[in-house]
């Protein structure tokens, strides 16, 4: 078994267990220690763009491992507080945030301007950043703070909807404020959909829009409102007389304050006492004739809102990838930095196997996130094929990465032992925050049905994906033919299963199984393609075989699957050093 290098401050096996606890990742630069991200970015960003961005990635990586991580811990322990009235007894409800949260907001909205990266130049660039770059920034930020990424993302997506569907008058009213990075002028956005009567069943929403004295006013309640006190909220409501179901829903923009400075006619009833994302306010609101502005065609509200939902789903997939990276790094730090039973924890066979169960899904998610972001960039440029890819990849990433995140967070907690359960260490917060990914923008069942029934069954997007991945396999020089054949066969089986389930209405119960198989097959191909791009480091080629063997092959609980190839691959992957292509080639076909 290979010897894994000691991390900073790590004890030797002979050191007293009482001398030091295993270190965590605070103080590290999360960009600098992420060899995978640094290896993949050149595959998707041109060299001049990446060269200009790298100092900003470095700066954010240092913040994520330093000041941001400190602020996130403080904000998590000091959640927002709702004040129902002002000091003069007026119903001017407002939410008080801890200064740590406000400092994180300043970093996100003013210093890096995350919310406008897709809409105008930032960080010295004259034009919007490519989606790959934007989501790489999100990936680094979320490794420190997850909750604030919700307000960042919904501000970004709200700008998108207003710019795409809003009238010129509405755009002139909202966009200058929403595109600003000046805290004194900026309006942050959000989306409110869920009601008591309807969550996943959007067509059951009961909020009513009435035309009164030349204005649209909203009446009803919204049950789960993240970023509750945003300056402008996009929401669905049914104009009086409109048909039932989703066909009758219109999209509206509701400002928190009217142009004369008065509060709009809605109340924040209470804040939610949540399992996770405690730094960010989620609450319930009651609409009492709030003034709102139509966004686009009144008959197309549901389809328009889906644009925002799909953008949010992609962001959720990226966030899950980010949290898994933090979990993996924490687990490695703990296992490398502590001794038990006469040797370091990382040298024990069962711990090594557990660490690989964290590494494989974390690396899958990163590959899928960047591939999906790249498809978005090419779709934005007007190409049809990437639009189809994006239609399928977005829910596929959200579905599986968010589910994997829960298991990975739990595994990272266990790797640290009892300290992982203590709120002084980040793993407890990671476990709590991980669970929201399977709820926001659709539960796993809803997302799996979107993958199979709509993206595959109706849009036929799987054909474009199969074609693109087959090309990648064919173009992957240095990929052993036997491994290429196994990958192609796995992809064919996954595509066939998704098609079969999509065709048969009686197979709905298999939708999650089909979506999982498709995700694993796609990510295995991506990992293999990535793994042969640089002959100096082919670690991702080893990971592609791990996916084939452990996430796609049938599992025999009575079989003995500890093979020599896997022991060698685990040694190399846990050593955190480059793996020459020739060595990886030999392992994947052994």
Q: What is the pLDDT of residues 420-429, one digit of tens each?
A: 999 999 999 9
Which one, of 288, 268, 271, 289, lies nearest residue 280 by Cα? 271
Predicted local distance difference test score (pLDDT) of residue 563: 81
Higher pLDDT, 339 or 46: 46
Pair of tokens at residue 471: 């090309």
pLDDT tens string 437-479: 999 999 999 999 999 999 999 999 999 999 999 999 999 999 9
| C-alpha to C-alpha distance for 510 and 499, rounded to whole angstroms | 11
Rounded to the nearest angstrom, the gap between the alpha carbon of residue 568 and the centroid of all alpha carbons in its chain is 32
Q: Is 83 helix (H, G, I), strand (E, B) or coil?
A: strand
Which one, of 499, 481, 502, lies nearest residue 589 by Cα? 481
**In angstroms, what CA-CA distances link 589 with 231, 232, 560?**
57, 56, 19
| C-alpha to C-alpha distance for 547 and 487, rounded to whole angstroms | 10
Give the pairing of strands 208-212 and 232-239.
parallel
Pair of tokens at residue 43: 């595959």
Predicted local distance difference test score (pLDDT) of residue 203: 86
Other beta carbons within 10 angstroms of residue 536's beta carbon come to: 9
| C-alpha to C-alpha distance for 162 and 182, rounded to whole angstroms | 20
pLDDT at 511 over 70: yes
Predicted local distance difference test score (pLDDT) of residue 179: 98
Predicted local distance difference test score (pLDDT) of residue 107: 98
Which one, of 455, 453, 437, lies nearest residue 365 by Cα? 437
Question: What's the mean per-residue pLDDT of the chain?
Answer: 93
pLDDT at 7 over 50: no
**Could you give the percent of the chain with pLDDT greater than 90?**
88
| C-alpha to C-alpha distance for 578 and 532, rounded to whole angstroms | 12
Place 554 in a pLDDT band, splitting at 50, 70 and 90: confident
pLDDT at 555 over 80: no
Pair of tokens at residue 199: 């969550």
pLDDT tens string 395-420: 999 999 999 999 999 999 999 999 99
Which one, of 434, 437, 458, lies nearest residue 447 by Cα? 437
Helical H segments across 476-532, by residue range: 481-503, 511-531
DSSP string, 428-481: HHHHHHHGGGGTTTS-HHHHHHIIIIIIIIIT-HHHHHHHHHHHHHHH-TT--H
Predicted local distance difference test score (pLDDT) of residue 561: 55
| C-alpha to C-alpha distance for 146 and 162, rounded to whole angstroms | 25
Burial class (CB in 10 A: 0-12, 13-18, 19+), 481: exposed
| C-alpha to C-alpha distance for 205 and 196, rounded to whole angstroms | 8
pLDDT tens string 116-150: 999 999 999 999 999 999 999 999 999 999 999 99
Give the pairing of strands 266-271 and 94-96.
unpaired
Locate CATH 2.40.110.20 in the chain: 189-302
| C-alpha to C-alpha distance for 452 and 460, rounded to whole angstroms | 10
Predicted local distance difference test score (pLDDT) of residue 226: 95
Beta bridge partner(s), residue 45: none
What letter would DSSP give residue 246?
G
Q: Buried (b) or exposed (e) across 387-402, using 16+ Cβ within 10 A? A: bbbbbbbbbbbbbbbb
| Contact between residue 118 and residue 129 where contact means Cβ atoms under 8 Å apart | yes
Burial class (CB in 10 A: 0-12, 13-18, 19+), 365: buried
| Contact between residue 386 and residue 379 where contact means Cβ atoms under 8 Å apart | yes
Rounded to the nearest angstrom, the gap between the alpha carbon of residue 147 and the centroid of all alpha carbons in its chain is 12
| C-alpha to C-alpha distance for 391 and 375, rounded to whole angstroms | 10
Predicted local distance difference test score (pLDDT) of residue 5: 44
Mean predicted confidence (pLDDT) in 9-27? 66
Place 11 in a pLDDT band, splitting at 50, 70 and 90: very low
Task: List all residues 6 or more positions away from 458 whose beta carbon is below 8 Å from its beta carbon.
Answer: none
Rounded to the nearest angstrom, the gap between the alpha carbon of residue 351 and the centroid of all alpha carbons in its chain is 27
Higher pLDDT, 90 or 191: 191
Length of the chain: 590
**In angstroms, what CA-CA distances link 226 with 34, 150, 223, 234, 430?**
31, 8, 10, 12, 19
pLDDT tens string 33-65: 999 999 999 999 999 999 999 999 999 999 999
The predicted model scores a pTM of: 0.94
Predicted local distance difference test score (pLDDT) of residue 264: 96
| Contact between residue 202 and residue 308 where contact means Cβ atoms under 8 Å apart | no
pLDDT tens string 153-197: 999 999 999 999 999 999 999 999 999 999 999 999 999 988 888
Query: Class assignment of domain 189-302?
Result: mainly beta
Predicted local distance difference test score (pLDDT) of residue 382: 87
Pair of tokens at residue 333: 């730090």
Tell me which residue has tokens 């639009």.
Answer: 387
pLDDT at 316 over 50: yes
Query: How many CA within 13 A on the CB side of residue 195?
Result: 20
- Rounded to 5 degrees, φ, ψ at 555 are -105, 125
Mean predicted confidence (pLDDT) in 275-281? 96
| C-alpha to C-alpha distance for 51 and 42, rounded to whole angstroms | 10
CA dihedral 241, 243, 245, 248 (to 10 degrees): -70
pLDDT at 17 over 60: no
Predicted local distance difference test score (pLDDT) of residue 576: 83
Helical H segments across 45-96, by residue range: 47-65, 67-77
pLDDT at 320 over 50: yes
Strand ranges for 367-469 from DSSP E? none
Predicted local distance difference test score (pLDDT) of residue 562: 59
């Amino acid at each position: 078994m290979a010897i894994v290098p000691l991390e900073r401050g790590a004890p030797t096996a002979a050191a007293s267990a009482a001398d030091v606890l295993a270190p965590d990742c605070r103080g590290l630069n999360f960009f600098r220690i992420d060899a995978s991200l640094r290896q993949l970015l050149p595959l998707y960003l041109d060299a001049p763009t990446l060269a200009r961005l790298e100092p900003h990635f470095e700066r954010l990586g240092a913040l994520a491992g330093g000041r941001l991580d400190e602020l996130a811990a403080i904000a998590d322990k000091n959640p927002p507080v709702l004040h129902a009235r002002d000091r003069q007894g007026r119903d001017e409800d407002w939410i008080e945030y801890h200064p740590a949260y406000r400092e994180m907001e300043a970093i996100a909205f003013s210093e890096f301007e995350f919310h406008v990266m897709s809409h105008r130049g930032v960080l010295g660039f004259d034009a919007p950043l490519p989606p790959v770059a934007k989501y790489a920034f999100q990936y680094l930020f979320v490794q420190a703070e997850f909750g604030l990424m919700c307000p960042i993302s919904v501000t970004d997506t709200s700008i998108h909807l207003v710019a795409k569907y809003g009238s010129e008058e509405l755009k002139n009213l909202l966009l200058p404020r929403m595109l600003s990075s000046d805290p004194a002028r900026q309006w942050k956005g959000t989306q409110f959909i869920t009601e008591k009567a309807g969550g996943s069943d959007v067509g059951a929403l009961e909020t009513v829009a009435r035309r009164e004295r030349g204005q649209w006013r909203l009446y009803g309640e919204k049950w789960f409102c993240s970023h509750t006190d945003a300056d402008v909220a996009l929401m669905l409501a049914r104009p009086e007389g409109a048909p039932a179901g989703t066909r009758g829903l219109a999209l509206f923009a509701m400002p928190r304050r009217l142009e004369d400075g008065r509060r709009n006619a809605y109340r924040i009833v209470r804040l939610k006492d949540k399992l996770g994302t405690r730094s960010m306010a989620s609450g319930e609101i009651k609409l009492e004739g709030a003034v709102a502005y139509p966004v686009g065609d009144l008959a197309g509200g549901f389809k328009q809102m889906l644009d925002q939902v799909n953008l949010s789903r992609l962001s959720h997939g990226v966030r899950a990838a980010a949290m898994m990276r933090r979990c993996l790094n924490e687990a490695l730090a703990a296992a490398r930095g502590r001794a038990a039973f006469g040797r370091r924890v990382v040298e024990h066979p069962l711990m090594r196997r557990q660490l690989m169960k964290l590494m494989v899904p974390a690396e899958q998610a990163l590959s899928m996130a960047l591939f999906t972001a790249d498809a978005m960039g090419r779709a934005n440029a007007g190409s049809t094929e990437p639009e189809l890819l994006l239609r399928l990849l977005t829910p596929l990433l959200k579905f599986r990465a968010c589910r994997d995140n829960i298991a990975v967070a739990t595994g990272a907690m266990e790797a640290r032992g009892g300290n992982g359960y203590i709120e002084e260490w980040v793993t407890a917060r990671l476990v709590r925050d991980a669970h929201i990914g399977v709820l926001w923008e659709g539960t796993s069942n809803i997302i799996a049905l979107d993958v199979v029934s709509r993206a595959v069954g109706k849009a036929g997007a799987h054909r474009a994906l199969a074609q693109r991945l087959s090309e990648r396999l064919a173009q992957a020089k240095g990929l052993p033919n036997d491994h290429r054949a196994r990958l192609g066969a796995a992809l064919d089986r996954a595509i066939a299963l998704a098609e079969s389930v999509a065709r048969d209405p009686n197979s709905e119960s298999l939708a999650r199984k089909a979506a999982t198989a498709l995700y694993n097959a796609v990510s295995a191909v991506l990992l293999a393609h990535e793994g042969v791009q640089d002959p100096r480091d082919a670690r991702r080629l080893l990971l592609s075989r791990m996916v084939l063997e452990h996430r796609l092959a049938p599992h025999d609980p009575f079989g003995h699957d500890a093979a020599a190839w896997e022991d060698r691959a685990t040694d190399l992957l846990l050593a955190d050093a480059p793996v020459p292509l020739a060595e990886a080639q030999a392992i994947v076909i052994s």
